[in-house]
Amino acid sequence: MTDGEILVEGAQETVDEMVETDVPVMNPHAQVCLQHLLRVWLGFERDLSTVPLLRRLDLGTYTVEDHLCLLRNLRQQVIEGSRWITRTASSFDRNYAEIRSTVIAHAVDEHRDYELLEKDYVASGGQLEDILGMERNVGSEALHGFLMYRASRNNPVDLLGAMWIIEGLGEKMARSWAERIHELTGLGEDSTRFMTYHGHNDGDHMQRFYRTLDDVCVDETTTSSIVKTAQVVARLYRLQLEELNHDVE
């Protein structure tokens, strides 16, 4: 999402990366909303560095045990994720048919992602029953509760803010976590298929996101509700990663 890496790989890539693309012209409310969403994202991404398990990725002390713990805790969120997305789709009336189509497509893309996580867990040396037996951690409870509540309201356009954060994280996992995990743990690519698949998938969503934002974000009230939901989801997602349950029953 916010791929601001410094280029160190060489000049050729610079040329490839700087290919001109069409920048959409959005309405002024959508533009302001995107400015706020960018800041919510950048703050979220920065604060993820304070989460102990993720800090170990930065400091180079992340272990296979850390990886198994992360996967166990992500699974519940991913399972619940497909539920709030489908609930969201059903909460839009016919005046929001376009966004409903987008949300349905999204749900189809991702509603069985948790199966990838289970395979990754086993490939990383974990026991299948351990990941299947995990409960939602404290943060997952809060995040799931909030998302289902918002998704149950009529025409919940504010959930664009939730999609912004969760899709952004998907891309971040692919871009900056997966390779680092291989480097630090010696695990193979089959330990991070969920992360990399998710990232490639999410990369295509940006233009669609701009169009949707331009369609639905046409006043200040909508802007603040989208930004607020992004803020809550960012905080609760971080809580989920802070509240990792380490015990295997």
Partner 1 sequence: MSVYITSTGAFLPGPPISTGEVEGILGMVNGQPSSLRVQIQQANKIQTRHYAIDAQQQTTHSNTEMASEAAEQCLDRAFLDRQSVGMLAVASTQGDLPAPGMASMVQANLGLPAIEILTTHGICSSSMMALKAAYNSLLVGDHDAAVVVSSELSSRLLKKQRYEAATESTFAAKRIDFNTEFLRWMLSDGAGALLLQSTPAPKGYSLRIDWVRGFSHAHALPTCMSVGSAGHPGDERTWQDYDSYADAERAGALLLRQEVRLLDNIIRMGVDGYLRLVQEGVSEPAKIDHFLCHYSSHHFRSKILEMLDAAGVGIPEDRWWTNLYTRGNTGAASLFIMLDEFLRTDEVTIKEGDCILCFVPESGRFNTTYMQLTVVKQ
Binding site for partner 1 (CB under 8 A): 2-11, 14, 17-19, 21, 23-24, 26, 28, 31-32, 34-36, 38-39, 42-43, 45-47, 49-50, 55, 58-61, 176, 180, 210
**78 vs 169, which CB is nearer to partner 1?**
169
Task: Give CA 26 to chain center in angstroms.
Answer: 24
**39 vs 112, which CB is nearer to partner 1?**
39
Quote the least distance from Cβ 173 to partner 1, whole Å. Answer: 15
Quote the least distance from Cβ 37 to partner 1, whole Å. Answer: 8
Task: Kindly report each contact of residues 97-101 with a partner whose C-beta sits within 8 Å and lies 24 or more positions away, as own/partner.
Answer: 98/212, 98/215, 99/157, 99/212, 99/215, 99/216
CA atoms 242, 117, 61, 135: torsion sign: positive
Q: How far apart are CA 249 and CA 38, in angstroms?
A: 40
Quote the least distance from Cβ 11 to partner 1, whole Å. Answer: 4
Q: How far apart are CA 206 and CA 3, in angstroms?
A: 12
**58 vs 65, which CB is nearer to partner 1?**
58
**6 vs 154, which CB is nearer to partner 1?**
6
Give the list of residues 6+ apart from residue 33 with CB closer than 8 angstroms, or none.
Answer: 213, 217, 222, 223, 226, 227
Quote the least distance from Cβ 221 to partner 1, whole Å. Answer: 18
Quote the least distance from Cβ 32 to partner 1, whole Å. Answer: 8
- Residue 63's CB: how many other CB atoms inside 10 A? 12
Quote the least distance from Cβ 183 to partner 1, whole Å. Answer: 9
**47 vs 215, which CB is nearer to partner 1?**
47
**26 vs 248, which CB is nearer to partner 1?**
26
**180 vs 228, which CB is nearer to partner 1?**
180
Quote the least distance from Cβ 136 to partner 1, whole Å. Answer: 26
Q: Which of 81, 107, 108, 103 is nearest to 92 (CA)?
A: 103
Give the list of residues 6+ apart from residue 48 with CB closer than 8 angstroms, or none.
Answer: 54, 238, 241
Q: Which of 183, 152, 164 is nearest to 58 (CA)?
A: 183
